[in-house]
Structure 1
Amino acid sequence: MAAPLPPALIATDLDGTLLRGDDTLSERSLDALARVAAAGARHLVVTGRPAPRVRALLAALGTGGLAVCGQGAQLYDAGADRLLWSVTLDRELAETALGKIEAEVGEVYAAVDQDGIDGLTLIEPGYLMPHPTLPSVRVERRGDLWRAPISKVLLRHPVLSDDELASAARSVVGSLATVTMSGPGTVELQPCGITKATGLAMAAARLGLGRESAVAFGDMPNDIPMFQWAAHGVAMANAHPELKAVADEVTTSNEDDGVAAVLERLFPAAARRARQ
């Protein structure tokens, strides 16, 4: 489906999409987003990161409005620094789901994102953070992961690939949780029925915008629901094959400013000579 011109809503994932591999934003991307805002369109960050892990990035973007965080489990108001809406993953269900997964594939290593504006990321022994720049707190045993409400569980397997782990998890978890894959080394369990699309739809409704005016950018299978909701989905060159298969177009990689390249086309006034 062709993208509406000009779109009124731009939804971007962060890791592997808008951000470069070192977690930075290029000047070209910042310029393109600034010109999009000047044209009257709205930019929404739609990320798997929990709200406490996006504050600095949203400040760098100059975003004082809404952001969809935690794979859609949180709607964050950056200007007020508060959660407008959040849903937690029942901790007993999460433990049960983990037990089913380990009965299927053997031992996995787990981490959790706690709910709330100041929630921590807790990691059990053996779990390695896929993003070493993101802060985390190591706990002594798995039981410590459940000491406060959580928004999601992150899983890693010592041998299986992400695709293999996600497939096995989906085969046994059922309605206990939604299984997603959001990046290298990042298979997640989140509340059943919650996706980036549910969060994006809620944020768009608050802004008085609909799916027919939305363009979404992403790189991983967790972005598929967002692509299905939006009028136009743009996958990065570095995207997972499952996302490319449902995308309306593929742009250049996150390292090559793929988001900016498309925005410069959709908003011609935003096109400027990229600064090195």
Structure 2
Amino acid sequence: MDGIGTTPPRDHRVVATDLDGTLLRSDLTVSARTRAALRDARAAGMIHLAVTGRPVIDTRRLLAGLGYTGPAVCGQGAQVYDFGTDRLLLSRSLDTDLVRELVRRIAQRTGPLALAAVSAGLGTEFLVTAGFGAPYQQHRWQLVDEPDLWRAPVAKVLIRHPDHDDDTLAALADEVCGAALSVMHAGPGLVELLPGDTSKRTGLAFLAAELGFTGADTIAFGDMPNDLPMFDWAGYGVAMANGHPRLRDRADEITVSNDADGVAVVLERLPAVRAGNRKASLR
């Protein structure tokens, strides 16, 4: 559905939001309008869950000042982190021998790849080989030779090739890896390899079992193909107007862009959020 919906989806208990291109504006901030909508959702008893491809170290920084205290799905579902206790509830890492072999097979099809590795755990390292560049400008990436990518447990590997666009490279990697690894296209230049059966869906399902909610209870917001598993699991999926065509095609609704507060536009239509706004205004 293109444009803003006129009939609100049914109320949901859980609001699951991607960060980049979705909850965050292009300057990586959360607008005052979106903050207010999330406040009203919490006042109505709804749970907000951040669900992102970024590792914990990024997620903590980006959500600082938002009053976020609950768990978050990070690293495409490879990590579930509890802000309240500062601990990992779930952490998955790659089988080094397996991922090196599959990267070799992908490179046989594409030619030499530029690689990056994000280490597992809370003390995240960001390592890149020559020619990769930096996915996130706010990070210091350490330039290393390929063997040094594997010096510590790795949560995910990113691949780039100058002659293949992201969609083509992701499709080729998925063909090579099959079920052995999860391949996610998370943004420009962000084609990621993760442990098999790892996705935002698996991270949310882990929290659903812990917190006692279901996919049907969840309204999810996203912008890229890595949000597809989350949309398939959630009861209602909302794609941003700036989102990837594959996600927009799968969405139940398309809202306005992240820079136009697309998350808030939808939340403000929910009866429970409107009731939460009335509660907040009485305090």
Q: Same fold per TM (> 0.5)?
A: yes
Matches within 5 A, 1:53-132: 53-132=58-137
CA distance in 2, matches of 1:64, 1:88: 25
Q: Which residue of 2 aligns with 1:246?
A: 250
Match of 1:167 among 158, 163, 171: 171
1:205 to 209, 213, 219: 209
Aligned mate of 2:236, from 207, 224, 232: 232
The one-letter code matched in structure 1 to 2:183 is V
Unpaired runs of 5+ in structure 1? none
User: 1:203 is paired with a residue of what secondary structure?
Assistant: helix
Please name the residue that 2:180 is paired with: 176
Partner SS state of residue 116, structure 1: coil
Matched-pair contact (CA < 8 Å) for 1:263–1:270: no
Measured in 1, the distance between the counterparts of 2:95 and 2:65 equals: 33
Counterpart contact for 2:78–2:203, Cα < 8 Å = yes
SS in structure 2 of the partner of residue 175 of structure 1:
coil
Cα deviation 1:62-93 (Å, max 9, x = unaligned) = 11110000100111011111101111111111
2:34 paired with 1:29: yes
Change (3 A) 1:144 1:16: same
Contact 2:42 2:276 in 1 (8 A): no
Q: Distance in 1 between matches of 2:178 and 2:197?
A: 11
The alpha carbon displacement at 1:271 in A equals 6.5
Q: Which residue of 2 aligns with 1:223?
A: 227
User: Do 1:31 and 1:270's aligned partners in 2 also have CA atoms closer than 8 Å?
Assistant: no
The alpha carbon displacement at 1:268 in A equals 2.1
Residue equivalent to 1:151: 155
CA–CA separation in structure 1 for the residues paired with 2:82 and 2:197:
22
What code does the residue aligned with 1:144 have?
D
TM-score (norm 2): 0.92
Give, in whole Å, the separation in 1 of the partners of 2:262 and 2:174.
Answer: 31
CA contact (8 A) 1:58 1:64 kept: no
Deviation at 1:136, TM superposition (A): 3.3
Secondary structure of 1:61's match?
A: coil
Number of paired residues?
A: 270
Q: What's the C-alpha RMSD, in Å, of the aligned pairs? A: 1.6
In 1, the alpha carbon distance for the partners of 2:189 and 2:20 equals 13
With over 3 angstroms needed to count, the CA separation of the structure-2 counterparts of 1:136 and 1:93, relative to structure 1, is farther
Match of 1:256 among 257, 260, 278: 260
Counterpart Cα distance in 2 of 1:231 and 1:113: 31
Determine the structure 2 residue equivalent to 1:51.
56
Unaligned runs of 5+ in 2: 1-6, 279-283
Letter in 1 for 2:53: G
Offset at residue 270 of structure 1 (A) = 5.8
Give the CA deviation at 1:171.
1.6
